[in-house]
Structure 1
Amino acid sequence: MSLPAQAEVVVVGGGVMGASIAFHLAEAGVPDVLLVERDTLASGSTSRSAGGVRAQFTDAVNIRLGARSLTAFEGYADRPGGEIDLHQVGYLFLHTDAASWEAAQVAVELQRSLGVPTRALTAGEAAALHPGVVVDDVVGATFHPRDGYCSPENVVHGYARAARAHGATVVTGVEVTGVEVADGEIGAVVTTQGVVRTGTVVCAAGPWSAALGEWAGVSLPVEPLRRQILVTEPLPASLVERFPATSPMTIDAATTFYLHREGPGLLVGMSYAAETPGFHPGVSDAWLPDLMTAMERRAPALLDVGLAHRWAGYYEVTPDHNALIGEAPEASRFLYATGFSGHGFLQGPAVGEVVRDLYLRREPPVDVSSLSADRFARGAVVHEHHLV
């Protein structure tokens, strides 16, 4: 679609955050919502995620955002509408040291107090859920059956389609290159196809958010950090029973090694401690030795399965590895939802509701004041330990 000359709200970024925010604003009756994406919808971090959805966190705000989003994913076919290939096979966290297991049990109690029925399991119970993983060093595990994974691209396109149906304009292939601010008031966004007059900008630009914030005079401490994923060839018949389609998304808490079924194969990934922040395009082999070591310890049978394909994307990382959500006091009105550090896809539905309500100046369904961007200046970092 052509770029309009003006808009009530300009949402920058066509991933899950931008699409969810645009949908929730338009559905609420906000007129002239414009979503601008520099490439194609879901072309950034969203499409390169593992698609995991969960409510297992150690911070109450993250638990609430995850749980509310799970409910939205479960009802996605009705609102906003569409098939997202949701597999609620659960998330299984494996813990191998006493301190980690003690913290996990505290988190389970917090989750349960907030309505998330996570269970604490023995190593044997974990093995029964996922017989393909080795648990001889596991001291305990946690499992929530409503967690799982779905299709990130389908989620984004469903939200964008519904946003259009409610009157929003979605424009792709247009890059925002500046924000005009005068006397603390936003007046316009500058793009590669012209200027759009607006009084409100919502930053949902993922790893590119810092520059957008800088143009508006707002500090958004977000850095890109490459993360890589691989998908195996179809599992041989001898391994299908050990890694069944119903097996949970399984995470080794000590190494962050994780795996879940992906069609006839398995999707596998983990963090790489030596990765440095910055835009490093493409895949690298540097992380493979660490991945193979973790795989040999946790799922050695997979070492003999071939590689079908692999890709790299970016986490949008903040100093405490938690999101930035709020409205900046420096520029009226500049709202932001970024820096999710790997949690963005799974929190997208709830954050769309939150930003909608922040824009409408009403109480959001989850109090996200602890995630404001100025928390670092105040020394009020968020402590979240389930960082996958």
Structure 2
Amino acid sequence: MTMRSHRPVAVAVALAALAAPSLTACTTAPSAARVPPVGTVTRPPATTVPALRRLVEDGAPGAASLVTRDGRFSASRFATVGVADLRSGRRMGARDHFRAGSLTKTLVATVVLQLVAEGRLALDGTAAAHLPPGVPATGDGADLRKVTVRQLLDHTSGLFNYTDDRRLSRQLYGKGFGAHRYDRYTPAELLRIALGHPPVAAPGARYSYSNTNYLVLGMIIKAVTGHPYATEIRRRILVPAGLDDTSFPGTDPTLPAPHGRAYSRIGDRRVDATSLDPSRAGAAGEMVTTLGDLNRFFSALLAGAFLPPRQMAEIRSEKRTGGTYGLGLYATELPCGVTVWGHNGDINGSFAQTAGSADGRHVVSYRVNTDAADRAHGTDVLTAEFCPAPHA
């Protein structure tokens, strides 16, 4: 469902003062300096603004984007349209925190592939072999003893998506949201809900996106390392890359300052969904971050700063999904034929996407503060930035 507004649209474009971090503490990572330089394309200073405006005209209270080129984070180009808060009229800021939903998955996948590179985990090993004690491995036809780590990563496990459970979905996104927004869940509880449904396909048969897959991967990381997946992400990714504005809140319903509001559409009502218990998402989507941190992470990942070459090839491999999904990354072919790599994420009141060139030297992140905007306009944001402008 989309929202339409005819109120005047405010536009701001600014340079975001975002200091570039250095990557120092990644034990399994090759140097990002091996990435060859790419040519510079001269562009107008606000290529994404018309696409952001379309998102707002389509119903998003606010939209924002951040563009980084050649690792020049201090010169990243920030643009925003609309407002971060409908009551105060406050505009979105470059350093605003927001819930990033399934963008969490790419960081989880990166840690899993680091464990593979270290010989502590095998992509073709079974998921059940690494589940903590007391966590179910079988259900209504589903059997994690037949599902591999690779199939979890690329969504070919066939496991039912727990957020599609009818009762839970009403509580998470429907009319029950108000009464259940602070409900607390454990990964094992959510997995049991998923295993209470028949699988959507046999393991390896076809691609079917499922949050359950990354819920299980979070448990596998803990079983292999002895630490919660969020602790491993902080140690292996956030600290080395200087991603100081990214966090995994667990059960904390609040957002760190600064932040705007998040708006959901439930029936015909717009609901403020800023505050909620993020344990509903866990390793599938609990991350809180900023546009700047997303650009830094994806720039470093695509440049090879977190994974050795073999695992970099794996994270981009889409052969088992028919070109749909790698091991934690989407490849998106834009109308002009350019392919960009990244992920998107949505959760109550928030949608965001990051995409970058294959070498990570050109990265764009954008967000809206609603879960109800037309995402086709998001593709317009990427097209505006990555596709050459037609000659006059």
Question: What TM-score results when the alignment is normalised by the length of structure 1?
Answer: 0.26
Question: What TM-score results when the alignment is normalised by the length of structure 2?
Answer: 0.25
